[in-house]
Amino acid sequence: MRRDQERWQRFNWPDEQWQPGASLSWTSTQAMERILADYRGSWSLIRLLERAQVTPVDSSTFKVVWKAQDGLPLNYLLRVEQGKGPLALLELKNFRLPGQVFLTGRSMKDAEEYGEDADE
């Protein structure tokens, strides 16, 4: 199996493209160019990343692995400038806001439930 020389490719996300998208393709020695995923829209990079297995390498580098249709791994290193970069959004996947965020016109009973003084 031939591997291209490793090189870093810089990109900005989100960017100002008119038609944002993210796709993952590679060239196989047996099947020529192959596409694992092709997403359109502002959240396309997140959709692509949520299909991957992500492992931290150090504080700014993550190993990102997708499984190709034939089961072979597609390995990438993602280096971010701050925090986890776009990977931080994956942690919000199952987040749900509570039914009521702010209490208005609270009664003494409501305030006591939250351990506060009703006069505050």
Q: Looking at the domain assignment, is residue 105 inside a domain?
A: no
Q: Looking at the domain assignment, is residue 103 inside a domain?
A: no
pLDDT by residue for the chain (120 residues), tens digit each? 445 677 788 877 777 767 788 888 888 777 788 889 999 988 899 999 999 999 999 999 999 999 988 888 999 999 998 899 999 999 888 888 887 777 666 555 666 666 655 444
Q: Looking at the domain assignment, is residue 100 inside a domain?
A: no
pTM of the model: 0.68
Q: Which domain holds residue 77?
A: 21-95
Total domains in the chain come to 1
Q: Looking at the domain assignment, is residue 108 inside a domain?
A: no
Q: Looking at the domain assignment, is residue 2 inside a domain?
A: no
Q: Looking at the domain assignment, is residue 107 inside a domain?
A: no
Q: Looking at the domain assignment, is residue 80 inside a domain?
A: yes
Taking phi first (over 0 means left), then psi (-120 to 50 degrees means alpha), and beta for anything else, what does residue 75 get? beta
Phi, psi for residue 30 in degrees, rounded to 5: -100, -35
